[in-house]
Amino acid sequence: MNARAGAHPRARRRSLIVAALLLLALAALIGVAVGGVTLSWADLFAGRGEPATTARLLASLRLPRVALAALVGACLAVAGAALQALLKNPLADPFLLGTSGGAATGAALAALAGASPLVSPGAAFAGAVASSVAVAALARRGGRLDLQRLLLAGLIANAFFSAVLLAVFSVASVEAERNMLFWMMGSLSGSSWTRAAALVPYAAVGGTFLLLFAARLNLFVVGEENAAALGVDTERAKVQVFLAASLLTGAAVAFAGVIGFVGLLVPHAARAVAGNDQRVLLPVSGLAGAALLVMADAASRAAFAPAELPIGAITAAVGAPLFAWLLMRTP
Amino acid sequence: MKPILETRGLAAAYGATRALDGLDLTIPAGRIVALLGENGSGKSTLLKVIARIVEPAAGAVLFDGRPLAQLPRRETARRIAYVPQSVDLVFPIRSLDLVLQGRAPHARGFAADSPEDYRRALEAMRACDVEALAPRDASALSGGERRRVFLARALAQEAEIWLLDEPTSGLDPRHRLEFLATLARVHRERGTTVLFVTHEIDLAADLADAVILLRSGRALAQGAPPQALTPDTLRRAFSVEAVVEVDSAGRRHFVPVAPAD
């Protein structure tokens, strides 16, 4: 490696993004094929006959599910990557910091009040912001966010939101158990093109904003004072990035419930491959997060078919050991 | 001489703790100015207020006669570079990327990666003798190497003013001398104004054109080293009795001998 290595960041960025796109395409193929009934590629691409019709029918159910999984995974991974850079903290993640719990509570309360599913991202966003504000306030000490306090505050928030969700559904709904499982462990079983399409604008707004902010996030990676000394209005930047990350988290949770560890796991894996330039890391994390969740969803359908595992159980089974490993490595 | 920086009744606080308390200062252009004072006297805070990391509670910083607060933040960063005492690098970062960050205030959307940015970053690293460290992880460098990488970054920033927070602390004698030689050379070549915080009274007397002594967030004395650094001002600033010795080269050495009552 010499001083010129990486002298062409734009070319490098392009090839990494293409590689991540290929990964996502592969995951999507697996996601469409795998499930209660496993389809062969020949079934999927055959044009005629009865097996082909069955295959197409299944694919039309699975395709929107794959699309929704991809969007949700991308939202969570980009939010996690941005939070890690902003807070200069490799353990930041929308789930661990309680943002997802807040979003779930917001969306569940809205659903309970009979609001249309199309406004539930708004309610989830409000819950996510409320949770972020509370957690940040708890974690602030002497004018800065303290790592230990941040994780403890996230723990407190998660315990509180679990209690609220349990209470709300125990008293209010006939479908209580199914709903609770959806909000607390995540599920993509209710996927449809309408739901996938409804998530798009939220993902687009939050994701585009963070991508445009990526060069500034690079300065936060060295520290908040560093960003300020290099000309960033840090107070405003923190609010903007928190809001964008909350928007992405809120939207993901509103359509798929709480799915943990994606925002932690994916940016770390992506950083190991693509480096820590946020202009590369954010898009690569988004695509890799999409691929991961599509595959996790396929696994949740295939593992104990015809029964379906909650997808959050899969991501937690992979994510929790990784979190433990990271915690041991963090000074 | 035309001042490049002035403070007027400058105050800053962290919660209930007052760090600066009505500070009036004048920093002449193109000179090296040392900032001395006991722990908690407001030295680092003053640098952070000038670098716009900390917002003043009252008063103003004037830059070229204009209130600094009226200058856009990026413009400030193009003209004033801040070199922290130490940075806790949680994530690995290539030294070259750290130096490239100095180009961020000059770049559209802070995205400093044009060929021109690379050229200037590498040129700055060459000037500070750290070009060979460019591909290395900055978090794995020694204290002296890292100090010079940050100095290279200030150079790449092409600022008129450098704010250095205890640039020599924690350096062994050899790295300290090398760092100071590099600093003196780039200062001479660029004509930069340097404002640095130090606990080394001898260094201030030797290197600086002017000295500012702070106590409880106020200026106790300011001026050329022989006038500003006397047993009397040192007693008032540091609460110590000190003797002044002059060596054969004519350099003045300050030896604290006892705590003052």
Q: Find the mean pLDDT for residues A264-280.
A: 91
Task: Tell me how far apart the alpha carbons of residues B115 and A163 are, in angstroms, rounded to a whole number.
Answer: 55
For position A191, what pLDDT does the model report?
81
Output b/e per residue, A199-217; b: 16+ Cβ within 10 A.
beebbeebbebbbebbbbb
Among A212, A223, A331, beta carbon nearest to B109 = A212
Output phi, psi for A60, to 5 deg: -75, -20
Counting beta carbons within 10 angstroms of the beta carbon of residue B119, is it exposed (0 to 12), middle (13 to 18) or buried (19 or more)?
A: exposed
Q: Find the mean pLDDT for residues A217-234.
A: 94
How many other C-beta atoms are found inside a 10 Å radius of the C-beta of residue A70?
Answer: 25
Closest residue in B to A219 (Cα–Cα): B101
Least confident of A5-9, A113-117, A137-141: A5-9
For position A96, what pLDDT does the model report?
83
A93 vs B119: which has the higher pLDDT:
B119
Using a CB–CB cutoff of 8 Å, tell me whether B153 touches chain A: no
Residue A148: band (very low, low, confident or very high) from pLDDT cuts 50, 70, 90 = confident
Are B86 and B144 spatial neighbours (Cβ–Cβ below 8 Å)?
Answer: no
Residue A5: band (very low, low, confident or very high) from pLDDT cuts 50, 70, 90 = very low
Angle at A213 (CA atoms; ends A10, A144), nearest 5 degrees: 130
Task: Tell me how far apart the alpha carbons of residues A14 and B255 are, in angstroms, rounded to a whole number.
Answer: 61
Highest mean pLDDT among A32-36, A71-75, B184-188: A71-75
Chain Cα centroid distance, residue A269: 14
Q: Nearest CA to CA, how far is A221 from chain B (Å)? A: 7
For β-strands B252-259 and A140-141, DSSP reports them as: unpaired
Highest mean pLDDT among A46-50, A72-76, B128-132, B167-171: A72-76
How many residues are given for chain B?
261
SS3 readout for chain B: CCEEEEEEEEEEEECCEEEEEEEEEEEECCCEEEEEECCCCCHHHHHHHHCCCCCCCEEEEEECCEEHHHCCHHHHHHHEEEECCCCCCCCCCEHHHHHHHHHHHHCHHHCCCCHHHHHHHHHHHHHCCCHHHCCCEHHHCCHHHHHHHHHHHHHHCCCCEEEEECCCCCCCHHHHHHHHHHHHHHHHHHCCEEEEECCCHHHHHHHCCEEEEEECCEEEEEECHHHHCCHHHHHHHHCEEEEEEECCCCCEEEEEEEECC
Task: Tell me how far apart the alpha carbons of residues B184 and B188 are, in angstroms, rounded to a whole number.
Answer: 6
Are A205 and A78 spatial neighbours (Cβ–Cβ below 8 Å)?
Answer: no
Give the ranges where chain A is alpha helix by DSSP (H). Answer: 9-33, 41-45, 49-86, 99-112, 120-139, 147-172, 176-185, 193-212, 214-222, 224-229, 234-256, 262-274, 278-302, 311-329
- Does A228 sit within 8 Å of B52, measured CB to CB? yes
Using a CB–CB cutoff of 8 Å, tell me whether B69 touches chain A: no
* A144 pLDDT more than 80: no
* A217 pLDDT more than 90: yes
Chain Cα centroid distance, residue A43: 32
Q: For A293-327, how does the pLDDT look when each residue is reduced to its tens digit (9 = 90+)?
A: 999 999 988 887 777 888 888 998 888 888 788 77
Among B104, B109, B134, beta carbon nearest to A230 = B104
Counting beta carbons within 10 angstroms of the beta carbon of residue A11, is it exposed (0 to 12), middle (13 to 18) or buried (19 or more)?
A: exposed
B197: which strand partners? B35, B165
Query: In the numeric block, which tokens belong to residue A198?
Result: 């409804």
Residue A143's region, left for phi above 0, alpha for psi from -120 to 50, else beta, is: left
For position B113, what pLDDT does the model report?
83
- Does B84 sit within 8 Å of A232, measured CB to CB? no
- Does B101 sit within 8 Å of A218, measured CB to CB? yes
Closest residue in B to A147 (Cα–Cα): B90
Residue A183: band (very low, low, confident or very high) from pLDDT cuts 50, 70, 90 = confident
Query: In the numeric block, which tokens belong to residue A196?
Result: 């996938």
Q: Find the mean pLDDT for residues A39-58.
A: 65
**Mean pLDDT, contiguous 10-residue spans, chain B (261 residues):** 90 87 93 94 95 93 94 95 90 94 90 89 92 93 89 93 92 86 89 94 92 93 91 90 87 86 74
A3 vs B103: which has the higher pLDDT:
B103
Residue A129: band (very low, low, confident or very high) from pLDDT cuts 50, 70, 90 = confident
- Does B53 sit within 8 Å of A225, measured CB to CB? yes
Task: Tell me how far apart the alpha carbons of residues A233 and A211 are, in angstroms, rounded to a whole number.
Answer: 17
Average pLDDT for chain A = 84
Task: Tell me how far apart the alpha carbons of residues A68 and A230 are, in angstroms, rounded to a whole number.
Answer: 39
Contacts of A92 in chain B (CB under 8 A): none
* A60 pLDDT more than 70: yes
Are B29 and B193 spatial neighbours (Cβ–Cβ below 8 Å)?
Answer: yes
Among A5, A226, A228, beta carbon nearest to B87 = A226
Residue A171's region, left for phi above 0, alpha for psi from -120 to 50, else beta, is: alpha
**Is residue A144 classed as helix, strand or coil in its secondary structure?**
strand
User: Among A259, A249, A255, A242, which Cα is nearest to A108's?
Assistant: A255
Closest residue in A to B163 (Cα–Cα): A229
List CB contacts of A323: < 8 A, sequence separation 6 or more: A91, A96, A261, A264
For position A1, what pLDDT does the model report?
36
Q: For A286-296, how does the pLDDT look when each residue is reduced to its tens digit (9 = 90+)?
A: 999 999 999 99
Least confident of A31-45, A177-191, A314-328, B65-79: A31-45
Query: In the numeric block, which tokens belong to residue A285?
Result: 């994390």
